[in-house]
Homo-oligomer: A and B are copies of this chain.
Amino acid sequence: MSKTLVFGHKNPDTDTVTSAIVYAYLKQQLGVEAEAVRLGDLNNETKFALEKFDFEAPRFISTVVGEAKQVILVDHNEFQQSADGIEEVQITEVIDHHRVANFQTADPLYFRAEPVGCTATILNKLFKENNVEIPANIAGLMLSAIVSDTLLFKSPTCTEQDIKAGEELAAIAGVDVAEYGLAMLKAGADLSDKSLED
């Protein structure tokens, strides 16, 4: 119960899942007992990214009640997109790139939202601000999130900051952005995978 859970929104996408893993890693490096969890099933795109960079899927939880007293939200802030029971725990941090709404706390917190295309672009800054090095496989997850949220830098929400972060992270991860990015997006769009599972 002393652990801090880190999670993104329901109906998880690649940014939500990888940002939970990545930010839990950063918090661990800073001495916080943090665990990434997820609120729903992974899609094929996210599975492809986790497999590529050798990560397990985070543990699934359906409610935060009985799981933790303190939580960190990534890639969302609106309570209706968050874990069941969110009103009953302390939110110590939010790292997000969406509008702020349907959110409130009783106490001051670290709330970092920026109008960029992807949570991972903000996390890239937080590693630098905290002087923590980004391992290659963590960089790979962050790149996957940016590719997913910006559709390989082509979405209207994509900013210069997302492009620059993507280039930095691709270099650390040692992957070709266009080649890996297209393969990942294709895995997400691949309907044959879906029919195998259903």
Chain A residues engaging chain B, CB cutoff 8 angstroms: 97-115, 129
Contacts and interface: CB of A to CB of B under 8 A. Distances in A.
27 contacts: A97-B108, A99-B104, A99-B105, A99-B106, A99-B107, A99-B108, A100-B100, A100-B103, A100-B104, A100-B109, A100-B111, A101-B104, A101-B105, A103-B103, A103-B104, A107-B115, A108-B114, A109-B113, A109-B115, A110-B113, A110-B115, A111-B111, A111-B112, A111-B113, A112-B112, A112-B113, A129-B129
Contacts of A103: 100, 103-104
Nearest to A105: B99
A42 to B, nearest CB: 25
Copies of the protein in its oligomer: 2
A103 to B, nearest CB: 6
Contacts of A106: 99
A101 B105 CA distance: 6
Nearest to A112: B112
Contacts of A109: 99-100, 113, 115
A160 to B, nearest CB: 14
A118 to B, nearest CB: 11
A102 B100 CA distance: 11
A162 B99 CA distance: 29
Nearest to A111: B113
Nearest to A117: B108
